[in-house]
């Protein structure tokens, strides 16, 4: 029997619940490209073995820039500080990424790592869910 894990409360919901909600929202946001490279693929499509998509590592700089720009456009707002670049808002972030400047390339790398982490987190979440539902069937 599994031990009860203590979960730290964040506001009115648990950290685990909040993570699950954020992960579900991310599933509808572009996280890659379909195998023909013609259009973006959502995280849900990237995770689906029946949907042919390109691996993150196989994306060209141009594809990665398009993907990151699209993800940034879907964010309600962005505000970050970067040493040497100053404050970066949403409009500037999108512009830097599209132009593939030094700052844009850093933002592309950061988002690339974020997408890789989301894919890993979603796979772990899905594996736990499948495991739990199989135990309940028995």
What is the predicted pLDDT for the residue at 23?
84
pLDDT of 12 above 70: no
What tens digit of pLDDT does each residue of 46-90 get?
A: 999 999 999 999 999 999 999 999 999 999 999 999 999 999 999
Bridge partners of residue 87, in order along the sequence: 81
The angle at the Cα of 26, spanning 97 to 40, to the nearest 5 degrees, equals: 55
Provide the pLDDT for residue 136.
55
Domain ranges of the chain: 13-137
pLDDT of residue 127: 85
- Give CA–CA dist 33/43, Å, rounded: 10
């Amino acid at each position: 029997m599994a031990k009860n894990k203590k979960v730290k409360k964040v506001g009115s919901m648990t950290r685990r619940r909040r993570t699950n909600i954020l992960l579900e929202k991310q599933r509808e946001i572009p996280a890659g490209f379909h195998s023909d490279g013609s259009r973006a693929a959502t995280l849900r499509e990237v995770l689906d073995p029946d949907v042919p998509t390109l691996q993150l590592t196989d994306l060209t700089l141009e594809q990665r820039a398009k993907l990151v720009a699209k993800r940034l456009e879907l964010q309600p707002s962005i505000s970050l500080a970067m040493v040497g670049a100053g404050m970066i808002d949403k409009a500037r972030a999108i512009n830097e990424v599209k132009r593939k400047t030094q700052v844009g390339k850093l933002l592309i790398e950061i988002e690339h790592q974020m997408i890789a982490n989301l894919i890993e987190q979603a796979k772990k979440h899905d594996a736990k869910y499948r495991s739990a539902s199989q135990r309940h069937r028995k």
